[in-house]
Structure 1
Amino acid sequence: FAGTVSVIGPWSGVEMDAFIPVLEAFKAETGIDYTYQTYRAEDLANVLPAQFSAKKSPADVIFMWSSFITSNTKSIVELTDVIDTDAYIPGALDNVTTADGKVYGIAYTAKVKPGFWYRKSFFEAHGLTAPRTWDEFVT
């Protein structure tokens, strides 16, 4: 590929500053240049369906909600035979996989929100030790 890949993502400011090194690593690895534009996902959800209907897309790579991806599979390239699904932890691609097992997106982040919070003073007062593994947490 000798062109430029256009990328749309939701990040601006310091988040974009943190993402640019990812794009630079892609460029260093592949030799493919890129352009990056920031769009809010809410705005893309309104704009993309019309562009897809007109067989146009504002970018080659678009970071978008998984529900949007799976509801627009007629306009998005299937990735089932392009990526190694075994390289992902189980469940990581579930939200971008259709009922018939076709993959239309990749996981680019993993989150654990809101996480688990506990009041340290409560644990100390009751002689409790905070769990350090999932097994300890559920038992």
Structure 2
Amino acid sequence: MNEYLYYFPIYNDEDKNKIKKEVEGDFKNKGSKSSYKKLKLFLININKGGRKYILKLIDEEKLKTHKNKKIAHIDDYNNFSLYELRIPPQSRTGVFRVYLTFYPEKFYLNNNNVIILGAEFKTEKKAKKIEAAYNNLKSLVDNALK
């Protein structure tokens, strides 16, 4: 079975990745257990379905308002998109936010990989790690296009 989920930066030794440790370890102790289970299920499904799974979710949610979407388009950089996975979409007790992207097909045909650029457990109105995720997107794109 193919696996399509990667964490930025992509190391040969995934145990060194801070973002992966945060999502798969630190997040266990934050938010509700049911929200964490939903997040893990989404990540498993993204790993199995890759870009196609995310595009299907985006299509299913296109009639929802921005604040009610589980996956929302946040920004673009050089034809690459930054998306935000929100579990739950909104909550007073906190929301798991996972920032991700994938390579545009016009650059990498048949590439179904999804890359997590950052993550946070958001309890305040303003996201704290979205700028870092955008900077990771820029770094990823600039290195890919060299």
Give TM-score scaled by structure 1 length: 0.29
Give TM-score scaled by structure 2 length: 0.28
Higher relative contact order (CA 8 A, sep 6+): 2
Please state which structure has a larger fraction of its residues in strand.
2
